[in-house]
Amino acid sequence: MTSFSQVAAGITCKPGPTYGAILRTFTTSPACRESFEHDTVVTYSQLKTMLATGDIQLFDVRSPAEFEDGHIPTAVNIPLDNLEGSLKLSPEEFEQMFEVKAPGKSDTNIVFQCKSGNRSAKALDIACLLGFNRARHYKGGYIEWIEREEKSL
């Protein structure tokens, strides 16, 4: 009989696709499939337009310390580690905790952002699994935001 450790010793682990890529490929949930059929990335120009019109629910998933060091106007800080629990709150609890209207699962103006786009992509995966099927993320993150804003001055 071959033990698990003997079998596992011969397995080579290689870098693979991200969790989000696997989710998009293999999910059987129609809601999640639908969410990846639309454009999930918001560009700098799109973000600027959304901010100018006020048609955005922008959630910064960085740490509170990062948020305090600077953030995109109107962004609400919900650290990635707290996101799932926060999105599961009742609308009343969410509004009490964050002092903004709770996002709705079918809202098209939900945008997650972080420093460089990695955590916001994870936030998008979490939101999708919770039924926020039209959420998107700002891939450029706060780094791109600052660079582009400084150039426009």
Residue type at position 67: F
Strand locations in the chain (E): 41-42, 57-60, 76-77, 110-113, 136-138
Indicate if 114 belongs to the active site: yes
- Of 13, 32, 114, 128, catalytic: 114
Q: What is the dihedral of CA 93, 98, 100, 102, to 10 degrees?
A: -40
Per 3-state DSSP, the chain is made up of helix, strand and coil in percentages (nearest 5) of 50, 10, 40
First to last CA, the chain: 70
Determine the Cα–Cα distance for residues 133 and 83; give it in Å rounded to an integer.
Answer: 15
Determine the Cα–Cα distance for residues 108 and 105; give it in Å rounded to an integer.
Answer: 9
Tell me which residues are annotated as active site: 114
